[in-house]
A and B are shown apart, each in its own frame.
Chain A
Amino acid sequence: MLDRIKRFNWLMFAAMLALVALGTAAIYSAGNARSEEVFHSMWKANLSTALFGLAIYFVLAFFDYRRYVSLLAAPAYLFSLVLLVAVLLVGTSTYGGRRWLWFFQPSEVAKLCVIAALAWIYGSPEPRPWLRRFPGFLAACATIGVPALLILLEPDLGTMLALLPATLAMLFVARVWRRGLLTAVLAAAVLATAVLAAVYEAEKPGVSEDRRAAIMRFVPLRPHQVKRVKIFLFPDEDPHAAGYTLRQAMISIGSGGFSGKGFRRGETNHLKYLPQSISMNDFIFCVYAEEAGFIGSVALLALFGALLAPCVWTAYFAADGRGRLIAIGVSTLVFAHVFVNIAMSVGLVPITGLPLPFISAGRTFLVTVMAGLGVVQSVSIHGREEDR
């Protein structure tokens, strides 16, 4: 027991608690700026959810992950598939997507389940050389592909975009058919660049309607996605309608300045210039950055760094494959969310609906991330001992 407490990674835990605290404050500020009463007490809900997540965190941290991962990974994965199908059939629609099943979003839970399943398969202590080769790659594609497809059907592109780097990192670490993997990554990069270039070419000023249509036939994006890419490429083009969100986001963040405007003093948020429907969720970084300023933003990044460093540390020192893969999977998942969310708020990447871990008011996601970190903590505690 003492051993365990000794090996408990306090930095990771403290960073997580600090992030929960900052998140609750940001939700308080964003929620109180809204006119609807129901959002004013959102921070309380976030806090109680965090407590619930903390309980799960401790349970998962104190038991040996090797026991429960091998026991639960497969059933959890299958159960998440059932939930993903269920949400498509009986889920609740919001903002053009069918993402809710009663009180939670199955796609968030599925992220963790996919990571666990991959860890379970590729981190197995028994040597399975075929897994490192092409067949193993195909197996990974199937494991990731089925839930990914279901998530895309909701549709929830953002979640997909966060899950993909996490699973990719795991496959790299697991040394699964690296040549193919690298090729795939490069191909994806080339494709993304090509799409950007095509949209740029089609939408730049002075392009005829015919030419635009001819180019856009080859772009595999939906109209609203094209629009977002267009806003990313030409942020000043249409500041009134489509570009409004990004423009307001930049103003919120930029007007924070060095030291911020102070807690609950974010004008763009409280004067409702920032679109209200997203200020608590995907664009909460704007609320935070306006009130906390550059100092606060960097502190937030540092906290995420303080959270991620021990995770990578844990992965590096993990004695077995499963622990290592889980630590890498969870940390990459968190990193992908953090990076894409903040990057889109400051106009570095096109706008994608993706929450900022711990800060956004997403309760399912909060519990998911805390659970994931609980497993990583378990790896930190138990993972250095050789399995006896």
Chain B
Amino acid sequence: MRSEASISSDLTVLAIGAIFVAGLVALGFRLARVQLVDAAKHSYDGARQSIRTVRTAGPRGRILARDGTVLADNRASVSIAVNPEGFQRRTWNDTVLAISNAVDAVSAAIGLRSTLTAGAISRHVRQQLARPLVAWRDVGDEAIARFAERAGEFPGFSCIETEERVYPEGRLAAHVIGFVGRRDAESVGGEQFNFRDKEMCGREGLEAFYDSYLRGSQGELQVTVDARGFAVEEKTVSEARRGPDLRLSIDVAVQRAVERQLRGERGACAALDPRDGSVLALASAPAYDLNILVPQLSPEINERLFRNARNDYRNRACFETYAPGSTFKTVTALAGLGAGVPPEVSYDCTGVFELGGMRLHCARRWGHGPIDMRHALKESCNTYFCNLGCDIGTNALFSAARAMGLGAKTGIDFPQDSAGVVPSAEYKRISYNLPWYASDLAHAAIGQGQLLVTPLQMARVAGAIGTGYLVRPRLGADAPVERTPLPFPERDLAVVREGMCMVVDGGTGKRAGEGVAAAVAGKTGTAEVGLGATRRKNVWFIAYAPAERPTVAIAMVIENGESGGGTAAPKVNAVLKSIFGEAEELEPRVGVGER
């Protein structure tokens, strides 16, 4: 007879045995599930088990003008791509051949030639096997329709939606906006990815300068590939997100007005708000439609934009440099005042300035006679400023030029920002292997010779004279404002301002102020460049308005013009009219008697 305790113990042993059986049976069931029911999934999986990570790119942010006008946007674009996994052959060569043949077949069906070469296919198969290969990028609706009709006949091909850049305003501010190219999505923080999808990246202009700002945040994709590397399945790990919009200080109305004036010319114009440096307009002519660069720069376009003599592509507003001509006299005047020359002092203009063997003619052949600073500015007297320059010397003149921001980059938030040249004896020796003559100083005093500036710099100079401080030009509406006070006393600035007002009020630039509902102060310039047959004139007008409290500073240069007053001033006048409106009544002027 067994004890109660022993029976209880026996039962426990049996219970434990039952647990063993239950456990083993449970494992058996689980194994049946994994190895029998799900076997297909797992063995299929087993053959394609490697996982590749893909960096995906987010859509790029837009570029907006000051008033919200969209200057650069994205549009949906459809591309037809080959998925290499549809063309698995025993050897890689056969795979490449199969893809190539299939592309040709589809090409015939949809009536679009593919730019894919065997080399490109081969490269893709070697490097990007698990990713679709774009055969026709940015295909039109018609071709898509033809493809969709017969899609069943082309296994392995699919439409993929991407985005392309679009510039709704076409030519407007083309040089400023720049354009984008494509490159592999960037790796951030040293992460390792097997593949990186192409993303847009700025190549020129603001697209380049604000590239990292505009670029969307990147996403991640996991692609399951089989043992040979063909894609089997995709899974999005993190979604790519659109980049922020970039708002510009560019005023579309001003930009339009400026571009209208530049049409048909070669030249450039910069207009900015001298109070905070906001660039209102930055234009260069000839311009081009940015949309011809989308989806990619074709060889013909490349030839037209980059390699022709007209140099459409060249940004004349802040990259190209010009001799400032007489517009520089404003700076010379400030330098003279700074050196202690009273504005009332007169030099006698005989129509020619002679120094050693050099003879330099004044605009007025017979001379101005004795002339003071204000009138010399008004009449743009060469003799006066040559004398003044020679009297104050190289250092005084060029330190004033540097104080006005010449010879240095403006610091604009733009990739192209030429410093120009404020020459020196050393500069001349290095560049031309010539000594520095006194005549160089005389030339510099009237903005000729080795002196080189950009229109943007001159707009800044005009604004600085008007306000008393130098601003950093800025294109981004949120770029920081930087102002540097000028080292000239207000008294000196007032003299130059008066002179510049007189230029417009009956002086060489009188056509600039006609009918503008604001007082305009300006300075003409006619820079002679080249010698002999290539001798030509680049004409300038710089201005700020309203004269008492400037809100606009502008500089325009027209290549091969007649004169600053005759060619550039009327164009600036038109721009200023569009900004300030036309005056109610035209003041009758002496010499303007059409009635």
Contact = CB atoms under 8 A, between A and B. Distances in A.
A173 B34 contact: no
A197 to B, nearest CB: 22
Interface residues of B, number: 37
B464 to A, nearest CB: 51
Contacts of A257: 35-36, 39, 43
Given A254-B41, A258-B36, A305-B24, A328 B49 contact: no
B17 A240 contact: no
A254 B45 contact: yes
Given A175-B8, A251-B45, A298-B28, A258 B35 contact: yes
Contact of A254 (B8, B43, B50): B43
Nearest to B21: A305
Interface stretch (A222-230, A265-273, A362-370): A265-273
A144 interface: no
Interface in B97-136: none
A272 to B, nearest CB: 12
Interface stretch (A79-87, A339-347, A373-381): A339-347
A252 B46 CA distance: 7
A316 B42 CA distance: 42
B579 interface: no
Interface residues of A, number: 46
A253 interface: yes
A114 B38 CA distance: 41
A174 B222 CA distance: 55
Nearest to B227: A271
A309 B38 contact: no
A256 B42 CA distance: 9
Nearest to A331: B20
B45 A253 contact: no
A255 B43 contact: yes
A72 interface: no
A386 to B, nearest CB: 13
Contact of B49 (A169, A175, A273, A308): A273
Nearest to B50: A273
A315 B26 CA distance: 23
A298 B26 CA distance: 11
Interface in A309-331: 309, 312, 315-316, 324, 328, 331
B20 A294 contact: no
A239 B50 CA distance: 9
A356 to B, nearest CB: 11
Contacts of A253: 31, 34-35, 42
A332 B16 contact: yes
A281 interface: no
A289 to B, nearest CB: 7
Interface in A242-257: 247-248, 250-257
A343 B51 CA distance: 25
B39 A255 contact: yes
Interface in B1-33: 5, 8-10, 12-14, 16-17, 19-21, 23-24, 26-28, 30-32
Contacts of B42: 250-251, 253-255
B46 A268 contact: yes
B382 interface: no
B41 A339 contact: no
A137 interface: no
A346 B20 contact: no
Interface string A286-317: 00010001100110010011001100100110
A348 interface: yes
A43 interface: no
Nearest to A241: B51
B45 A240 contact: no
Interface in B155-191: none
A301 B10 CA distance: 25
Contacts of B31: 253, 289, 294, 297-298, 301, 342, 346
Contacts of B32: 294
Given A240-B51, A267-B46, A309 B36 contact: no
Contacts of A324: 9, 13
Contact of B27 (A169, A258, A309, A339): A339
B38 A254 contact: yes
Contacts of A251: 42, 45-46, 49
A308 B20 contact: yes
Contacts of B222: 239-240
Nearest to B16: A169
Nearest to A313: B17
A308 B25 CA distance: 13
A66 to B, nearest CB: 18
Interface in A174-205: 174-175
Contact of B24 (A173, A255, A289, A301): A301
Choose among B9, B21, B35, B47 the residue with the greatest number of A CB atoms under 10 Å from its CB. Answer: B35
B53 interface: yes
B35 A173 contact: no
Choose among A240, A289, A309 the residue with the greatest number of B CB atoms under 10 Å from its CB. Answer: A240
A324 to B, nearest CB: 7
B16 A173 contact: yes
Interface in A135-181: 169, 172-175
A267 B227 CA distance: 11
A335 interface: yes
Contacts of B47: 255
Given A173-B12, A316-B13, A294 B35 contact: yes
A248 B49 contact: yes
Interface in B231-257: none
A297 B49 contact: no
A305 B21 CA distance: 7
Contacts of A247: 49
A344 B363 CA distance: 97
Choose among B31, B39, B49 the residue with the greatest number of A CB atoms under 10 Å from its CB. Answer: B31
Contact of B13 (A240, A254, A255, A312): A312
Contacts of A256: 35, 39
Given A172-B16, A308-B17, A331-B16, 16 more contacts: A173-B9, A240-B51, A254-B41, A254-B42, A256-B39, A257-B43, A273-B46, A294-B32, A305-B24, A312-B20, A324-B9, A324-B13, A338-B24, A338-B27, A339-B27, A346-B34
Interface of A: 169, 172-175, 239-240, 247-248, 250-258, 267-268, 271, 273, 289, 293-294, 297-298, 301, 304-305, 308-309, 312, 315-316, 324, 328, 331-332, 335, 338-339, 342-343, 346, 348
16 contacts: A173-B13, A248-B49, A254-B45, A255-B39, A256-B39, A257-B35, A271-B227, A289-B31, A298-B28, A298-B31, A301-B27, A312-B14, A312-B20, A316-B14, A343-B30, A348-B26
Closest 3 CB pairs of A and B: A254-B42, A255-B46, A312-B17
